[in-house]
Structure 1
Amino acid sequence: MEDLTLAIQGMSCGHCVQGITNILSNLKGVKVDQVKIGEATLGFYPQTITPEEIVHTLEEEGYKARLSVEVV
């Protein structure tokens, strides 16, 4: 499992935090560590899902996401 931090725009409240948590939790190969307004930290299995696929999923839900730091 590799660690990933995402910067996420479009979050403004606890409802957004819960929504992002649910979206990420439902992705196969992703383990959510923490979601707060503007950021999500998670673990992922690169054999199962890529950071780009995670970002794309969030963008499909109306959020603007980008890799905050390099994949560790």
Structure 2
Amino acid sequence: MEKVIKINGMGCEHCIKSVKNALEGLKDIKIKNVIIGEAIVDIPTDYNLDLIMEALDDAGYEVESIQ
């Protein structure tokens, strides 16, 4: 299932790389695109969204929403 993750705290190419690295560390996540302020990913329908929020928080970013 495709989800759009709105992310606060991103402002440059380094931020994009950091978010990609954080998401790549999660099992069953397929990254479609990451731009400043959001990431588009494919995840299983029953995926624990808290894992995404924790990974991005650990990388220094705040998840605004996951839709």
TM range (shorter): 0.7 to 0.9
Q: Which TM-score applies when normalising by structure 1? A: 0.81
Q: Is the 8 A contact 1:4 1:67 kept in 2?
A: no
Alignment partner, residue 6 of structure 1: 5
The residue correspondences of 1:23-42 to structure 2 (distance < 5 A) are 23-42=22-41
For structure 2, the residue ranges without an aligned partner over 5 or more in a row are: none
Residue 46 of structure 1 deviates from its aligned partner by 4.1
CA root-mean-square deviation: 1.4
Residue by residue over 1:3-46, the C-alpha shift from the partner in whole angstroms, topping out at 9 and shown as x without a partner, is 11111011110011011111111210100000000000001124
In 1, Cα distance between equivalents of 2:51 and 2:11: 23
The residue type paired with residue 50 of structure 2 is E
Q: Which runs of 4+ in 1 moved over 2 A?
A: 66-69
Equivalents in 2 of 1:24, 1:57: separation in Å?
A: 7
- In structure 1, what is the Cα distance between the partners aligned to 2:45 and 2:26? 12
Size of the aligned set, in residue pairs, is 67
With normalisation by structure 2, the TM-score equals 0.86
2:54 aligns with one of 40, 56, 61: 56
CA distance in 2, matches of 1:5, 1:46: 14
